[in-house]
Amino acid sequence: MQSLDMSSVDLRTVNETLQAAAKSQANATYEITNPRGSHAVAVGLDGPLSVTVKGSTGYYCAGMNKTASVRVVGSTGPGVAENMMSGEVVIEGDASQYAGATGHGGLLNIKGNASSRCGISMKGIDIVVHGNIGHMSAFMAQKGNLVVLGDAGDALGDSLYEARLFVRGSVKSLGADCIEKEMRSEHIDILKDLLDRAGADAKPEEFRRYGSARQLYNFKIDNVDAY
């Protein structure tokens, strides 16, 4: 394991080192210490790399991740794993706003709570939140799975497309065009796999599924107040 101490190595050098190692396909292991809430830590990794960040980070940690595995032993600011393409990002603490925004693939595993707009405009990413999520989560979510072991705030799934939302706890309110849907056997299988991958202590039968009512795909004058 190679160590990068951010009390003596600046952010640019840290990211350049990690990006070069990922690009070389070295499959190396790095540990980052003393992040001190720095923004954009471990961004743009494109290759088989394992990174552990010992401490909390600021916004856009592990953004644009591809193939790499990033673990934060702490909490993260807004936009963690933004535009993630593949790989895995694990947050041992809590995540701030719009975690996993626009993510195309991979697994974002949040062991604590996530704030508002978790999974906004998700495009194929899988997100598992072991705690609660805030309001407007999965807003305009297009594809992928959002799994919440706790409760969801206001306007869950507002204006979503074909993403699947699984919530074990209560939902304060559903957003425009989001409805509860039947939990069929194929959804149980999908959810079981995600819970296993995330190391979540829950049974898929305990969850409810939410999705699009498909009434906002095309403009209808009768729905003008919902747009």
If the chain, 227 residues long, is cut into consecutive pieces of 10 residues, what is the mean pLDDT of each piece?
A: 96 98 94 98 97 98 98 98 98 98 98 98 98 98 98 97 97 97 97 98 97 83 68
* pTM recorded for the entire structure: 0.95
pLDDT reported for residue 151: 98
pLDDT reported for residue 223: 67
d(CA 200, CA 28): 27
d(CA 123, CA 104): 5
Residues 126 and 143 sit within 8 Å (Cβ to Cβ): no
89: tokens are: 């990002």
pLDDT reported for residue 226: 63
pLDDT reported for residue 217: 73
pLDDT reported for residue 215: 86
The CA–CA distances, whole Å, from 142 to 12, 70, 164, 175 equal 33, 24, 9, 14
Residues 127 and 149 sit within 8 Å (Cβ to Cβ): no
- Residue 99 has phi, psi (to 5 degrees) of -65, 135
d(CA 54, CA 103): 24
Residue ranges of the domains in the chain?
A: 1-96, 116-227
